[in-house]
């Protein structure tokens, strides 16, 4: 009970056979840019997930609960093939799920 109260738990994915070093660097860059934007009053509600490369071909990735994949969003927009892409479907989904975003 003590540990649960003071130490948050995380759901993680262990990836083997995938080099996560570039992912880790990109996510660190996104976090830095988010801090800069917030300091300038621009909050885009970014939630970069955790990523830790433990080797050149393995690592840990934080699970983002209730996340939607781009493919799932595309399917909601009516697309059936995985090689199709409709940017307007993404825009509609973002607008629908972020009603306060347009000011």
pLDDT by residue (tens digit) across 64-81?
Answer: 888 888 888 888 877 766
Give yes or no: residues 11 and 45 share one domain.
yes
pTM beyond 0.75:
no
Neighbouring residues of 86: CB distance < 8 A, sequence distance ≥ 6: 74, 77, 79
Give yes or no: residues 61 and 76 share one domain.
no
Q: What is the pLDDT of residue 37?
A: 94
The residue among 56 and 93 whose pLDDT is bigger is 56
Q: What is the pLDDT of residue 4?
A: 64
In this predicted model, what pLDDT tens digit does every residue of 24-38 receive, in sequence order? 999 999 999 999 999
In this predicted model, what pLDDT tens digit does every residue of 37-64 receive, in sequence order? 999 999 888 888 999 999 999 999 999 8
CATH number reported for the structural domain that contains residue 19 in this entry = 3.30.1010.10
Alpha carbon distance 10, 14 (integer Å) = 12
Domain range for 74 is 68-103
Rounded to 10 degrees, what is the CA torsion of 94, 99, 35, 12?
-60
């Amino acid at each position: 009970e003590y540990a649960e109260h003071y130490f948050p738990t995380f759901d993680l994915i262990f990836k083997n056979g995938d080099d996560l070093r570039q992912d880790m660097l990109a996510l660190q860059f996104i976090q830095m840019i988010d801090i800069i934007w917030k300091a300038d009053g621009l909050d885009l509600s970014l939630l970069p997930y955790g990523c830790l490369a433990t080797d050149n071909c393995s690592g840990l990735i934080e699970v983002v609960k209730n996340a939607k994949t781009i493919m799932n969003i595309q399917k909601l927009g009516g697309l059936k093939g995985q090689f199709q892409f409709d940017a307007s479907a993404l825009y509609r989904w973002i607008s629908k799920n972020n009603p306060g975003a347009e000011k």
